[in-house]
Structure 1
Amino acid sequence: MGPSSHRTSSPSPTPGRRLDESMTLLTSMMERPLDPGYAAAAQAREEAGLPASTGVRTPGVLGAALVIGLLLTTGALALRAPSPSAVKAKSELVAEIQARRRAADAEGAQLRTLQSQVDQLQSQALAQSDQRALQDRLAALSLASGADAVTGPGMRLVLDDAPSAPGNSADGNPRTNAQSTDGKVLSKDLQIVVDGLWEAGAEAIAVNGQRLTSKSAIRFAGEAILVNYRPLTRPYTIDAIGDPKSLQADFAGNDGGAYARALTDNYGIRVSMDNVDSLTLPAATTLTLRYAVVPGSTPVPTGTPTRRSPTSTPHTSTPHTSTPHTSTPHTSTPTTTPTTSEPTP
């Protein structure tokens, strides 16, 4: 007789042993689910003429469970719903912010109106005193410092968050969580793009209507991007005045243009660039007169420059030092008369 496979024959069980002998505990639990102590207590109650179980307590247990569940549900809903006082405080805070912003905008408009009147008086005074050279120098300094509004051709670059950009982290810092930065335009992005525009030969730049000067700072505070310490809202529009024939091409070939393309390729940030025949950039409203000289007198400083706090190091957008295109028709032309303000770079 040949050998047999273990798949076709099985050893016969040992006589007198159960097949489930190794599962004694499980078998006992299945056959006697009630603990022996409870069974003895139930039998003693039946012998004494009482019911085997105290079923009268079951409705009470169910009622207590319902009450506890109702209390927990009510508490959870109360915690999720904002309190009326918090909603009222938030609405009052938003209204106050909007009111102060409107007041700041009105004061800025009044400041520009008064500055225009000062420019007119200054122009008349210089014309009467035959100070043509001084007037030309003031015009060039005003254009470089951003003291005057300018108009000219250039390019418009718009950056906007990706369509599915996530929110910020719990502390409001967009750099805390690496995933929260994906698809969102950050202050660092605007800094690099603006520096690329200066390098490409831009003569004047404004971000969302905020004119950039040698003292402008581009930074973030919480969830907002600040330019000249004013919060901006997306999309972020950067207007740059310069030679329309070379500005966009030079920007596309430098580090700023490469960074803008990387934002689109890697993070889905929307970037658009277009040449514009005529752009008008407002004058900067954050300039302060630090130094003035009366012709024929001894120079006297009018104020002491203040030092920047060492705890804050915002990025400063410095205009590029390339020679402006002053000899070609596309040169930026001030819309107002030059001013005597000569801010310190």
Structure 2
Amino acid sequence: MTEPTRPARRVDESMTLLTSMLERPLDPGYQAAADQRVANGLPAATSWRSPTLVVTALVVGLLMGISSASLRASQALGQGARADLIAQVEARQKAADEQAATARAMQDEIAEAEAKVGGGVSAADAAELARLRAVTSQTGVVGPGMTITLDNADGSGADADGDPRTGQDSGGTVLSKDLQIITNGLWEAGAEAIAINGQRLSSRSAIRFAGDAILVNFRPLTRPYVVSAIGDPKEMPLAFAAGAGGSYLTSLSSNYGVQTKTTTEKELTLPSSVSGTTRLASPADKEKTS
């Protein structure tokens, strides 16, 4: 007796689930509902090719395109305004630098003219006047000394408030208080004149911060910050290193990674300050001037 012939197995028999999904993508329940709708004489359900759906998709796409174009236009306008403001700031800074140089040159001319005229002033008084002009930063000075250069640590950045060190990566940023402590340490070590990035310090100078910028004499500075001090090139570096300023400078480098460099110089030239004005004066002794 021959055995009945069995039907050949389908090649995709092991993928019945995938085959069912491909051959009958619509769930049986939904298919039955659709067939009942047609049997009742109603039109078949609308598909994704519905004109209303197509029009809606086109309108939404158009609105999104218009919005994207508007945002790009606003960004372009913002970038243009920012570039214009930067150009204006740079132009104003250049003009201020030129005017400061002119003011310094005029101060030097006045000092030379006063020294030539004399006006009955004795040699001792003239020497004292010259010393006071140098001390009060009214004239430029030249002499030996030392420089301290500071720059931010690699990869550091200021936080939103600019000062103090509140951000995770802002510890290596040079702050205004760092320059204040270092310059005070130089004064204590015997510095006779100090300038930061060419800005001469006087008794009325201010070292402040504005956002991420450091201001000296209300002028913004750029990195690196070079502190130049005129004084004894042998005694002043030793006194500074042994004082609070030297300890603070070492801690900036070791604890925060601030880049520091200290060098002695045979000759430094520091400009005069253009912010000095007379606030208090009294008549000279007539007996001394007669």
Q: Is the pair's TM-score, using the shorter chain for normalization, greater than 0.5?
A: yes
Q: CA RMSD in A?
A: 2.9
Structure 1 residues 73, 269: closer, same or farther in 2, change over 3 A? Answer: farther
Find 1:136's aligned residue among 127, 135, 147.
127
Is 1:233 paired with 2:225?
no
**Separation in structure 1 between the aligned mates of residue 41 and residue 234 of structure 2, nearest angstrom:** 108
**Separation in structure 1 between the aligned mates of residue 27 and residue 163 of structure 2, nearest angstrom:** 60
Write the mapping of 1:1-345 to structure 2, written as runs, cut at 5 A: 34=27, 38=30, 41-48=33-40, 53-55=45-47, 57=49, 61=53, 64-65=56-57, 68=60, 71-72=63-64, 75-76=67-68, 78-79=70-71, 82-126=74-118, 129-169=120-160, 173-175=162-164, 177-296=166-285
**1:249 CA displacement:** 2.1
**1:230 CA displacement:** 0.6
2:104 is matched by which residue type in structure 1? R
Structure 1 residues 77, 166: closer, same or farther in 2, change over 3 A? Answer: farther
- Is contact 2:197–2:226 with CA below 8 Å preserved after alignment? yes
Structure 1 residues 295, 261: closer, same or farther in 2, change over 3 A? Answer: closer
Q: Which moved more, 1:68-77 or 1:155-164?
A: 68-77
- Is contact 1:112–1:285 with CA below 8 Å preserved after alignment? yes
- Is contact 1:174–1:180 with CA below 8 Å preserved after alignment? no
Structure 2 residue aligned with 1:308: none
Task: Determine which structure has the larger helix proportion and give its number.
Answer: 2
Structure 1 residues 117, 73: closer, same or farther in 2, change over 3 A? Answer: same
Structure 1 residues 295, 249: closer, same or farther in 2, change over 3 A? Answer: closer
Structure 2 residue aligned with 1:305: none
1:129 is matched by which residue type in structure 2? G
Provide, for residues 231-268 of structure 1, a one-character-per-residue CA deviation record: whole Å limited to 9, x for no partner. Answer: 10000000011111122222222221122122122222
**1:286 CA displacement:** 0.7
**Separation in structure 2 between the aligned mates of residue 180 and residue 146 of structure 1, nearest angstrom:** 37
**1:218 CA displacement:** 0.4
1:268 is matched by which residue type in structure 2? G
State the number of aligned residues. 262
Q: Which moved more, 1:248-257 or 1:279-288?
A: 248-257
**Separation in structure 1 between the aligned mates of residue 65 and residue 228 of structure 2, nearest angstrom:** 55
Provide, for residues 297-340 of structure 1, a one-character-per-residue CA deviation record: whole Å limited to 9, x for no partner. Answer: 59xxxxxxxxxxxxxxxxxxxxxxxxxxxxxxxxxxxxxxxxxx
**1:47 CA displacement:** 1.7
TM-score normalised by structure 1 residue count: 0.67
Structure 1 residues 296, 182: closer, same or farther in 2, change over 3 A? Answer: closer
2:209 is matched by which residue type in structure 1? F
Q: Which moved more, 1:175-184 or 1:185-194?
A: 175-184
Following TM superposition, the consecutive aligned residue runs of length 4 or more in structure 1 with deviations greater than 6 angstroms are: none
Structure 1 residue ranges without an equivalent (≥5):
1-32, 299-345
> Could you tell me the percent identity over the aligned residues?
43
- Is contact 2:155–2:169 with CA below 8 Å preserved after alignment? no
Structure 1 residues 282, 84: closer, same or farther in 2, change over 3 A? Answer: same
Provide, for residues 153-174 of structure 1, a one-character-per-residue CA deviation record: whole Å limited to 9, x for no partner. Answer: 11111101112113432xx534
- Is contact 1:45–1:52 with CA below 8 Å preserved after alignment? yes
Structure 1 residues 213, 77: closer, same or farther in 2, change over 3 A? Answer: same
**1:76 CA displacement:** 4.7
**Separation in structure 1 between the aligned mates of residue 259 and residue 106 of structure 2, nearest angstrom:** 39
**Separation in structure 2 between the aligned mates of residue 256 and residue 80 of structure 1, nearest angstrom:** 51
**Separation in structure 1 between the aligned mates of residue 51 and residue 267 of structure 2, nearest angstrom:** 83
**1:144 CA displacement:** 1.8
- Is contact 2:108–2:139 with CA below 8 Å preserved after alignment? no
Structure 1 residue aligned with 2:8: none
TM-score normalised by structure 2 residue count: 0.78
Tell me the secondary structure at the aligned position of residue 98 of structure 1: helix
- Is contact 1:146–1:213 with CA below 8 Å preserved after alignment? yes
**Separation in structure 2 between the aligned mates of residue 165 and residue 81 of structure 1, nearest angstrom:** 33
Structure 1 residue aligned with 2:20: none
**Separation in structure 1 between the aligned mates of residue 122 and residue 192 of structure 2, nearest angstrom:** 26
**1:273 CA displacement:** 0.6
